[in-house]
Amino acid sequence: MARNKQISTKPTTLLLFITVLVGVILIFKYLWASSSSTSVYTSLHYNWVRENNDLVTLNPSLFNHSTDKILELKDKKDKIPERLLSGTFADLPAPETEWEEMAPAPVPRLDGASIQINELFYVFSGYRTLDEVHSHVDVYNFTSNQWGESFATPKQMANSHLGMATDGRYIYVVSGQQGPQCRTPPVAETFVLDTQTRTWDSFPPLPEPRYAPATQVWRGRLHVMGGGKENRHTPSTDHWSIPVKNGKALEKTWRKEVPIPRGGPHRACVPAGDRLYVIGGQEGDFMPKPGSPIFKCSRRHEVVYGDVYMLDDRMEWHTMPPLPKPDSHIEASWVLLNNSIVIAGGTTEKNPVTKRMILVGELFRFDLDLKKWHVIGKLPYRVKTTQAAYWNGWFYITSGQRDKGPDNPQPKKVVADLWRTKLSL
């Protein structure tokens, strides 16, 4: 009987030992997991920095396996905020700038175009919303500080993504997109406006249609280069020119010129004496959603860059110092002042975590003598495709798409606002 009792206690002892061992293992795993989670959270907390502009930024060193763990956390309070900015793309330090708000434009507009001729500021077409476009010109008089009477554009003329330049009286309007959303293909038609009579005339069409090409009258010829091809997304490096005088083309066909070193739309194109500067831009753009009857915009991969190129009088391209940060949607956001180019706003590279578009809120200056960039001020808010002008010591901006607020650089509202600030260089 005693031997039988001794044998029966062995399974009980073994079961108790296994139970204790499993308990110890579970406790150890719990403590290790808690320690690991705390470590990841602490790493995130101490790598966030709050800039002087009150933007939360993420230290680039976090972009490793630790970030992946953070993104996988299911609790909302542990997720990376959607407004998070990489330090690479945060607002740059800039002097505070005092802006005065003037009478707004008659309509809000995005991706329009503008030309200043003396005291008159001509602001063209553009989107009101993605589903509605404008087909008219608004004119602001800097001497009276008032918006004047609007007038219509030709029915065949594009509504957005226009190439535009002037010789001081005539305004040349080149190619672009007709209609709302992301309608394709663009038009090749080109028109010329006599600003003294406010009459329109036709002009030789481009060899191929383009979206938002860099356009300028330089050394007696109208130059058109870059932009997006017919599918709206593929960048073009083509460069054409045609001689112009008194609003007329002196030749029947466009001449092929040396290609621009890097293609794409939404760039500033600035003449400065015997030099022509092409600044910023991007490769790629939104495309129409396949099968959409309204050409609904569909996101595509875009690369925004800060490249600056200079074309000399021998028709040779030279690479200049890049912008302080990549910048696009600035085709009408510049003025030439005292041998400097001043550029307002735009868009920069997307947020590396959320992939959302980031707007630019700085005022940049390129000193043409020193070939050097400076950040000289802050805009009232971040904004893209704003229209810029300069008159009697005042720098003006109007229209465009502004940010969601001081702590969120994503684009939101299309505006009609008109602002000005004193500027002397």
DSSP secondary structure string for all residues of 290-316 = TT-TT--EE----EE---EEEE-TTS-
**What values do phi and psi take at 150, rounded to 5?**
-85, 160
Compute the residue count for the chain. Answer: 425
- Averages of pLDDT over runs of 10 residues in the chain (425 residues) are 42 56 54 39 27 33 34 41 55 95 98 98 98 98 97 98 98 98 96 98 97 98 98 97 98 98 98 97 96 94 96 98 98 97 96 88 98 98 98 98 95 98 95
Q: By CB neighbour count within 10 A (0-12 exposed, 13-18 middle, 19+ buried), where does 242 fall? A: buried
CATH 1.25.40.10 fits 100-422, yes or no: no
pLDDT of residue 60: 34
Asked whether the beta carbons of 380 and 398 are under 8 A apart, the reply is no
How far apart (Å, rounded) are the C-alpha atoms in residues 127 and 147?
Answer: 19
Give the SS3 label for residue 331: coil
How far apart (Å, rounded) are the C-alpha atoms in residues 227 and 241?
Answer: 14
pLDDT of residue 351: 85
pLDDT of residue 21: 64
How far apart (Å, rounded) are the C-alpha atoms in residues 126 and 230?
Answer: 19
Provide CATH 2.120.10.80 ranges for the chain.
Answer: 100-422
For 283, the enclosing helix (H) or strand (E) is strand 282-283
Give the pairing type, strands 56-58 and 85-86. parallel
4, 46, 53 from 365: Cα distances, Å: 97, 35, 20
pLDDT of residue 25: 58
pTM of the predicted structure, to 2 decimals: 0.81
pLDDT of residue 24: 55
Residues 6+ away with beta carbon under 8 Å from 375: 92, 93, 94, 324, 362, 363, 364, 365
